[in-house]
Chains A and B, each alone.
Chain A
């Protein structure tokens, strides 16, 4: 009945996750650009999430079907970013226009 699969070394995963969390907090104090820090934080968060899914949620030892189910939200999230981008750029452009319009008369 119990589909006993091999248990990975959970304590090792725990230490990886704990160390990555400390690294994440250290990263925000690094003398780097905002964009670089953002990319680093996203990469670290993704690494941690992958570890939780692969080892704690046993995705590494499961059938392909469950893997496909798990990957679906990632595909939808990627689409979501592209759906939001045009709106984001439009608002950013308008904000920039408003700023330009309000600063210009002050010069005259």
Chain B
């Protein structure tokens, strides 16, 4: 960042649409845009397979939505604790910010645990990656692929948040880690956003 900031400093600040602090933010947004295309492709592929299938099972009947509704609520809560962490860090309260970061990571960990529970429950009932008793075998394939891809993102997010928690703890000035926390927040909210889509398209529709 320092090198980019040094180069940037030589240019008129007004010439650049982004401030030196937000190069990392721009980088994360570009990564997220690419990731969004990845998820978009998965969901579009899911839609195409489902629309052209003659015996696609009803997701509502097979998967159930009680547990996933709870998981959705949990991710929304963890998004709120994430913004609270950033807000407290901005106010200079490092301790509170660290607490909220920890709650966010904890929410993510519980989410992944619930997903593991849901998966094992469904596998036990016969939903496999290569077939299921209710109809089109691609139903199971796409279900495990899309929710698994998202679950992997949540797992990575928990690790990311815990490492950022260490960064906050190590840097004495709260302002020094503000940017890092904000960028981690972008990733975390994106994972929440994707789940909103997955929940709607794979469970409710």
- Which residues of A are interface residues toward B (Cβ below 8 A)? 1-4, 7, 10-11, 13-14, 17-18, 21, 24-25, 27-28, 38, 41-42, 44-45, 48-49, 52-53, 56-58, 62-66, 69-70, 72-73, 76-77, 80-81, 84, 87-88, 91-92, 95, 99
Extra 8 A-B pairs, beta carbons < 8 Å, given A56-B82, A70-B29: A2-B89, A14-B76, A41-B204, A52-B189, A56-B189, A57-B186, A66-B18, A77-B40
Q: Which of B129-137, B159-167, B171-179 touches A? A: B171-179
Whether B76 lies near A57 (C-beta < 8 A) is no
Give Cα distance in the complex from A2 to B17, angstroms: 18
Residues in B neighbouring A57, C-beta threshold 8 A: 185-186, 189-190, 193
**Majority secondary structure, A binding face:** helix
Whether A11 lies near B80 (C-beta < 8 A) is yes
As a 0/1 sequence over residues 180 to 202 of chain B, the CB contacts with chain A under 8 angstroms (1 = contact) are: 00100110011011001101110
Among A7, A52, A53, A87, the one with the most B-chain Cβ atoms within 10 Å of its Cβ is A52
Give Cα distance in the complex from A11 to B83, angstroms: 10
Give Cα distance in the complex from A10 to B176, angstroms: 23
Q: Which 8 residue pairs spanning A and B have beta carbons closest together?
A: A73-B36, A45-B200, A2-B178, A91-B52, A2-B175, A77-B40, A65-B17, A56-B189
Give Cα distance in the complex from A91 to B138, angstroms: 15
Whether A92 lies near B193 (C-beta < 8 A) is no
Q: How many residues of B contact A (CB 8 A)?
A: 57
Whether A65 lies near B26 (C-beta < 8 A) is yes
Give Cα distance in the complex from A13 to B51, angstroms: 34
Whether B18 lies near A65 (C-beta < 8 A) is yes
Give Cα distance in the complex from A66 to B19, angstroms: 11
Q: Which residue of A lies closest to B178 (CB)?
A: A2
Q: Which of B44, B77, B90, B176 contacts A81 (CB 8 A)?
A: B44
Residues in B neighbouring A95, C-beta threshold 8 A: 52, 54
Whether A63 lies near B40 (C-beta < 8 A) is no
Residues in A neighbouring B11, C-beta threshold 8 A: none
Whether A77 lies near B76 (C-beta < 8 A) is no
Q: Which residue of B lies closest to A3 (CB)?
A: B21
Residues in A neighbouring B41, C-beta threshold 8 A: 80
Among A10, A13, A27, A62, the one with the most B-chain Cβ atoms within 10 Å of its Cβ is A10
A10-B87, A65-B26, A70-B33 as given contacts; A41 in contact with B205, CB under 8 Å: yes
